[in-house]
Structure 1
């Protein structure tokens, strides 16, 4: 993994430290002197190649005269991610790009998810998730597949937090009818969707087959928005070996327009749940 991109939390922390230092009119040499290190350490921290201790971070923020408690708490939260949970590390060994996905899900205020033929990962049941992962030809082996399965299940815990992100899901009707994992597994998956539709932070809408052509026929994606306005929106597109992330405003804006267009052709949340139940009863 030499040369791999630093995790997103470290890139964000680094960018904010550079911003605050420059706003304060301080040089890297002055920052290094403040926390008693060589300039090369400051360079590596600001290039997102090295983490920083909480004590050093708080000292630098004081030095840069950052006194907004929300800003301080935000950066402290990022710095505390220096050691990812074991399940994240295991999954990252298999799919390095999954680390950023996990961070985006955990730090987002709003997640907008659209899929053509699969149920979105945050709402998959264990049987459904195993069936999806097992049908992907790969050389990952049993341990690799188990690591990805574990991560998919653990990621769903974000919806059970005291302050979960708002999750807006748009699914094609086709995704309800493909019997992933067999009839019984799919029934359980649809039951789970019906239950999750009652979650206070989840909204599920279905595009009925009769809607015909729509803006999402050729794409599936997830759009993340964050509570900190200085963080740009991010679009995630899954491909065969990992995830592609886009942060450029001109790109994310297009996906936001697509999602709004998709919502305009969906059934209402209540009618969507009724269609899910109808498909389940027909199996």
Structure 2
């Protein structure tokens, strides 16, 4: 996300200056391919080159300092880069978008969302679905899931809206004790000022969420398109190219909220189910 914001700002600044890529290359005595690679994100840009570009474009010094800070941050190694051997590229991208999101809206029809799972629940779930040849990756995958939840511990955490089908809070993944602790964890998380958790009850009957899990990730900058994450038992898709679909899924999310027990009714259900286990 940081790299993308930097690329967008560089292209906008050049457009604002009225310069073409050829003119930039000639002014700085660079090759045209260097300018193209920088703007496309094919190569990282040094702070020296960044300052040279922005000065050429007539960008104010204060803004240059902000973008230099952004460029340095973009080169930092993300924690999830250490798990490339055990997670897919789609999952890798999702974590990156989560870390930059200002708001996340997620619906799950089958299991508790990963950002809300306890460690024991996550271990039981991942162990139960992973293929035999990947048994050795279970602990690392659980660790990834737990580290993703650190976004709630930030000084300015994103807004998190979760809607789940009632089946997710009744299915005893890991057994009664693990599920009881998971339900209590949900109640605790729901008290967080940035978290909303709602359950669509069985009495709602057929609803649009039965078509599958989805997540919409929104960002603070208007320049950053929303990201849609679609997941099925055997496939994951993360895209920012389907903005019309994002609108449709956001409407679906609001329809599910109308069918839900709302936060208050959800808390009553979760507490009751935990006491019954």
TM-score, with structure 1 as normaliser: 0.87
After TM superposition, give the deviation of residue 12 of structure 1 in Å.
Answer: 4.3
Quick one: distance in 2 between partners of 1:139 and 1:37?
Answer: 53
Partner in structure 2 of residue 247 of structure 1: 241
Residues 264 and 134 (structure 1), Cα distance of their counterparts in 2 relative to 1, 3 Å cut: same
1:5 alignment partner in structure 2: none
For the structure 1 residues 97 and 67, does the alpha-carbon distance in structure 2 shift closer, same or farther, using more than 3 Å as the test? Answer: farther
Q: CA deviation at 1:146?
A: 3.2
In the alignment, the residues of structure 2 paired with residue 139 and residue 30 of structure 1 have an alpha-carbon distance, to the nearest angstrom, of 57
Aligned residues: 275
Cα deviation, 1:34-76, whole Å, max 9, x if unaligned, reads: 6664332222222222122334334423332344967974784
How far does residue 196 in structure 1 lie from its aligned partner after superposition?
0.2
- Give the deviation of 1:230 after TM superposition: 1.2
Corresponding residue for 1:124? 117
SS at match of 2:14: helix
Q: 1:280 to 1:78 in 2, by over 3 A?
A: farther
Provide the residue aligned with 1:264 in structure 2: 258
SS of the residue 1:213 aligns to: coil
Change (3 A) 1:267 1:16: same
C-alpha deviation, 1:79, in angstroms: 5.0
Q: Secondary structure at the match of 2:173?
A: coil
Q: Deviations over 1:220-240 (max 9, x none)?
A: 111011110111111111243
Q: Which moved more, 1:71-80 or 1:214-223?
A: 71-80
How far the C-alpha of 1:83 sits from its partner, in A, is 3.5
Q: Distance in 2 between matches of 1:203 and 1:222?
A: 14
Deviates more, 1:44-53 or 1:73-82: 73-82
Q: Which residue of 2 aligns with 1:77?
A: 70
Q: Secondary structure at the match of 2:54?
A: helix
Q: Greater CA deviation, 130-139 or 231-240? A: 130-139
Which residue of 1 is the match for residue 195 of structure 2?
202
Q: Choose the corresponding residue for 2:17, options 12, 24, 40.
A: 24
Q: Please report how far the alpha carbon of residue 101 of structure 1 lies from its aligned counterpart in structure 2 after TM superposition.
A: 1.2
Distance 1:67 1:98, change over 3 A: farther
| 1:146-225 aligned within 5 A | 146-225=139-218
Contact 1:168 1:202 in 2 (8 A): yes
In 2, the alpha carbon distance for the partners of 1:69 and 1:143 equals: 50
Highest CA radius of gyration, 1 or 2? 2
1:229 is aligned, of 222, 233, 243, to 222
Q: Which sections of structure 2, spanning at least 5 residues, go unmatched?
A: none
Whole-Å Cα distance in 1 between the matches of residues 85 and 29 of structure 2? 34
Q: How far apart are residue 241 of structure 1 and its match?
A: 5.1
CA distance in 2 between partners of 1:219 and 1:278 (Å): 27
Give structure 1 stretches of 5+ with no counterpart.
1-7
Higher percent of residues as helix: 2
Alignment partner, residue 50 of structure 2: 57
Q: Secondary structure at the match of 2:239?
A: strand
